[in-house]
Amino acid sequence: MTALYTRFCRSVLFPLHERLKSHSSVAQRRALEQSQWFNAETLQAMQLQNLRRFAATIAANVPWYQRLFSEHHIEPASMTLDDLQRLPRLDKPTLRANTEAFKSRVANKLARFNTGGSSGQPLIFFLGERVSHDVAAKWRATRWWGVDIGDKELVLWGSPIEVGTQDRIKNLRDKFLRTQLFPAFDLGESGIKQFIKSYRAFRPAHLFGYPSALARVAAYAKQHHVDLKQNELKVVFVTAERLYEEQRALIREQFGASVANGYGARDAGFIAHECPEGGMHVSAEDIIVEILREDSTPCRPGESGEITITHLRTSDFPFVRYRTGDVAALSTQACRCGRGLPMLERIEGRSTDFVFAQDGTAMHGLALIYVVRDIAGVHSFRIIQHSVDELEVMLVTTEWDAVRDQQVIDGMRARLGQSVSVKLNHCAHIPTEANGKFRYIISHVRM
Ligand SMILES: [Zn+2]
């Protein structure tokens, strides 16, 4: 329960605490609202200054970087972007094998997280100071769309576990943040109807959720001639998956509001947000985005490659040249909105399939991912739904026993149906897709 409570604190109580005490998120957001209008040159100078401060801090306090900087003869206080590019890229196996060496000796209030992430391999990592930065960056982007913290927000999100503590979260959020949480895991017909009922009663100014989940609601409304348009609704924020243009069009048409995409991940941070002119602006003050080829050389502007992140507000558990596994290109254009923040384009590579229970209930794929992810000893996994009656779980494990086999089977059956055949396939390695991307869930069922 400790991890759950920590997650609850991190995701809800801490930001709330920050807001109530008007601490660093508020100050950071104000500063970010100034700097977004700086020109590219000024922003680069500011980023370099932040890089040097960050590098000096981690060289002094984080064993991993103390060693790495000295091996590469890098002087943190005068570090350049070229120096940064001489450091090796950081991948999940390295982080996994050296977790303790990444912790700052002077860190306090580090919260433990784990994620299936887009790689499908569970990763344990720690978050500290950057939470307030990411809150501030998201908050800035929210205001681009004429909505603010405190405006009514309906969130279509959540894990089965979070839904278990939902009443507590819901009460708190309702009371202080005017945010209502609706679980995204049961989006069969009755789930969609309930969501629409909540949406109509609550009349939010903004919606937030997975594009696939909101597109399902929109498709249902279209098919059944349900009118979702409400004057109060200004914008629909989507994130965590690739947003397909047909999903954007469907959501916009049915809800009668603009769709704003966000790109980020729990491990990599909130990286880019879409502005009303359509630019995916990077929070470049504190996040250095490199787009790299497979051989680690930089892509030209406009050329697609792997998104690699250095997050300058992670000095208590640094993410330096962290490989996200996602693909995009750096835009060569300036945005019509006038902000100097650089932009990403053609973000690809994230996809989460819906899965279907035996009774036809549609569920977000994360509902199954959480079953496997939270069991100790899982190194990586892939879940393949061959049919509504047949599921395969590929597992690479470090330590394992029959009890955990049964846990996986029981967890899958609890969600999909008791007579589903669950085949466990223990293997040494799970191959990536042809495009190099690791998909952690694949469903061949279409309904
Ligand atoms: Zn813009």
Cα of 321 vs centre of ligand 1, distance in Å, is 25
| Separation of CA 381 and ligand 1 centre (Å) | 38
Q: What percent of the chain is modeled with pLDDT above 70?
A: 85
Centroid of ligand 1 to alpha carbon of 143 (angstroms) = 13
CA of 334 to the centre of ligand 1 (A): 8
Question: Ligand 1 centroid vs 279 CA: distance in angstroms?
Answer: 4
Mean pLDDT of 124-134: 84
Rounded to the nearest whole angstrom, what is the distance from the C-alpha of residue 158 to the centroid of ligand 1? 29
pLDDT digits (tens, 9 = 90+) for 51-76: 999 999 999 999 999 999 999 999 99
225 neighbors 256 (Cβ within 8 angstroms): no
Tell me the sheet residues that pair with 156.
Answer: 182, 209
**How far does the chain reach from its first CA to its final CA, in angstroms?**
36
Ligand 1 midpoint to CA 388 (Å): 44
The domains of the chain, with CATH numbers, are 2-348 (3.40.50.12780), 354-443 (3.30.300.30)
Cα-flanking dihedrals φ and ψ of residue 163, to 5°? -65, -30
Q: Are 259 and 236 in contact (CB under 8 A)?
A: yes
Find the 277 Cα to ligand 1 centroid distance in Å: 5
From residue 415, give the alpha-carbon distance in Å to each of 286, 410, 442. Answer: 40, 9, 16
Residue 170 has pLDDT above 70, yes or no: no
**Which of 108-122, 138-152, 328-342 is predicted least confidently?**
108-122
Summarize pLDDT for 77-100 with one digit per residue, the tens: 999 999 999 999 998 888 889 999
pLDDT at residue 353, rounded to an integer: 62
pLDDT at 436: 41
Q: Where are the beta strands (DSSP E) in 179-257?
A: 179-183, 206-209, 235-238
Amino acid 369: pLDDT? 80
In the reported structure, the alpha carbon of residue 305 is separated from the centroid of ligand 1 by a whole-number distance in angstroms of 22
The proportion of the chain whose per-residue pLDDT surpasses 90, expressed as a percent, equals 52
- Give 35 Cα–ligand 1 centroid separation in angstroms: 13
Model confidence band, residue 224 (pLDDT cutoffs 50, 70, 90): very high
Distance 273 CA to ligand 1 centre (A): 9
> How remote is the CA of residue 246 from the centroid of ligand 1, in Å?
22
What pLDDT is stored for residue 165 in this prediction?
A: 45
Closest CA to 44 of 369, 249, 289: 289
Q: What φ, ψ does residue 373 adopt, rounded to 5°? A: -60, -35
CA 275 – ligand 1 centroid, Å: 5
Q: How far is the CA of 274 from the centre of ligand 1 (A)?
A: 7
Å from CA of 281 to ligand 1 middle: 6
- Separation of CA 178 and ligand 1 centre (Å): 28
How far away, in angstroms, is 330 Cα from ligand 1 center? 14
Question: Average of pLDDT values for 113-136?
Answer: 72
pLDDT tens, residue by residue, 362-394: 776 777 887 887 788 888 889 999 999 999 999
CB contact set of 310 (below 8 Å; sequence gap of 6+)? 51, 84, 287, 288, 290, 319, 320, 321, 322
pLDDT of residue 188: 77
Label residue 281 exposed, middle or buried (CB < 10 Å: 0-12, 13-18, 19+): buried
| pLDDT category of residue 189 using cuts at 50, 70 and 90 | confident
CA of 335 to the centre of ligand 1 (A): 5
State in Å: Cα 88 to ligand 1 middle: 32
Between 116 and 155, name the one with better pLDDT: 155
d(CA 26, ligand 1 centre) in Å: 22
